[in-house]
Structure 1
Amino acid sequence: MMKLRVLFGVAGLALVITASAQTALIKKLDRYSSIVSQESDLIPASRKEQLTSLADMIISANLKDGNSSLIFTDETNSGVSQIAQAFLQASIAKKGLAKVNIFSAGNTESAIDKQAIELLKSAGFSIECNTNFKKNPHYLLNYSWSENRIMLFSKKMDNFQIPATNLIVVSLDGNSVNDSPAINNKQSIPYGVVNETTLKEIAREMFFIAEKVQNNQLLSHQQ
């Protein structure tokens, strides 16, 4: 895979951000993402400030640590946090952004809302249910035929897959994010109930974040 390495001199240190070649999304998802990517004018100015702040957190973590780990949270990790994880993963892949790791979790575990799964499918994601898990179904999600699939399932913050340090935690249900040694930064961008309107809002805003991160890398490269 083609790599683009961008060097920054900060306080005498060379910091590296790596950008990968852009990933081709599944055709239906690519069409959907192209539409929502052009709807940033529908995002309120105050909301754009919050999303830009979140993008800045990702950029800062990449500069400092060479990568960033972001986790979306809601109470049961069953709805909007799963949708946000899927769309930000797809958007960073489409923009060719490497070293941005995306997770989701909740304060408790619950089965993922089936409506959330159906909405993701309607946007173009390919999703297959693993029937070995009855109470808390696991879903294999594809956003590109050339990339590894994502395993979606409801989980708590203490799940072994969640990094133990330097997390950017994003609350999506308005609940406060508890302080923890693992948390590097935190942000709150609440969403409403799981429905088609919320799906589009999340998709639109995740691509907005990815574009902000991409633009920063391109600008830094030009300098």
Structure 2
Amino acid sequence: MKRKTLDPKLEQTIKIANELPISSDRKAVLEVLIQYIQKKVDQGEEVNLNFICTHNSRRSQFSQIWAKTAADLYGIPANCYSGGVEVTAFNERAVNSLKRSGFRISCKENGSNPIYLLSYSENSEPILAFSKLYDDPINKASRFAAVMTCDHADENCPFIPGTEQRIPVRYEDPKAFDDTELESSKYDERSQQIASEMLYVFSQVKNKI
């Protein structure tokens, strides 16, 4: 891994995530994403990943943020976006989980759909995060991989304009544990799983630069 300056708490989170086991079945799922990224890198083309879930509130946000962090850590140029088929809000429980992981988070705009700025160190470029449609102008409108992070969006979006490849990488929804004593631990568990898998994905990509 190319060395980046990380906040100590986030560095510990990443260390734990890198030690999580990934099953062979799951690696097979991730291999499709790895091959897409590798092909774009080999051809000298932009890597544009749009992580899509119905409400763009939990799993797709986790995926975008961890993918962008992993890409930067491994020195792979990649544009990481997220979106949904309905606009809601970046769920506060997910935001709090990322804070516990060690991300620096500030709120740029309040309201029903807050806009957050996240960074992994004092000098890293912030990631802009809020709930949006997958074709929001802030996302790459064409030549991207649609990475489907939930079964509902995957099954109910038969066609996504602009996508070069549709790649299902589904995750269980931590929403099932909202307002229970397991809420925080389950959000952290899902975030760490996604961190582990995104770190694995970008660790497998060979950069010619």
For normalisation by structure 2, the TM-score amounts to: 0.86
Aligned residues: 193
Shift of 1:22: 4.4
Q: Distance in 2 between matches of 1:178 and 1:128?
A: 35
Q: Distance in 2 between matches of 1:183 and 1:65?
A: 18
* Conservation of the 8 A alpha-carbon contact between 1:172 and 1:191: yes
Which residue does 1:122 correspond to in 2?
100
1:139 partner SS: strand
Deviations 1:124-155 (A, max 9, x none): 1111112x330101111111212211111000
Q: Distance in 1 between matches of 2:69 and 2:134?
A: 22
1:148 partner SS: coil
1:31 partner SS: helix
Q: Note if 1:147 corresponds to 2:128.
A: no
2:107 partner SS: strand
Give the ranges of 4+ consecutive aligned residues of structure 1 lying more than 3 Å apart after TM superposition: none
Equivalent position to 1:173, from 102, 126, 150: 150
Equivalent position to 1:184, from 149, 156, 164: 164
Q: Note if 1:67 corresponds to 2:46.
A: yes
* Conservation of the 8 A alpha-carbon contact between 1:24 and 1:94: no
Q: Note if 1:54 corresponds to 2:33.
A: yes
1:35 partner SS: helix
1:102-117 pair list within 5 angstroms: 102-117=80-95
* Conservation of the 8 A alpha-carbon contact between 2:61 and 2:129: yes
Q: Distance in 2 between matches of 1:129 and 1:207?
A: 26
Deviations 1:100-130 (A, max 9, x none): 1100000010011111001101111111112
Which residue does 2:140 correspond to in 1?
163
Q: Distance in 1 between matches of 2:161 and 2:115?
A: 29
C-alpha distance 66-178 of structure 1, shift in aligned 2 (>3 A): same
* Conservation of the 8 A alpha-carbon contact between 2:54 and 2:84: yes
* Conservation of the 8 A alpha-carbon contact between 1:55 and 1:212: yes
Shift of 1:179: 2.6
Deviations 1:46-71 (A, max 9, x none): 11011122111011122235221001
Structure 1, unaligned runs of 5 or more: 1-20
1:88 partner SS: helix
* Identical-residue share of aligned pairs (%): 26
2:87 partner SS: coil
Structure 2, unaligned runs of 5 or more: 175-186
Q: Tell me how large the CA RMSD over aligned residues is.
A: 1.7
* Conservation of the 8 A alpha-carbon contact between 2:50 and 2:134: no
* Conservation of the 8 A alpha-carbon contact between 1:23 and 1:96: no
For normalisation by structure 1, the TM-score amounts to: 0.81
C-alpha distance 65-186 of structure 1, shift in aligned 2 (>3 A): farther
Counterpart of 1:163 in structure 2: which amino acid? K
Deviations 1:12-63 (A, max 9, x none): xxxxxxxxx6432222111211221122xx2111110111221110111222
Of the two, which has the highest radius of gyration?
A: 1
1:36 partner SS: helix
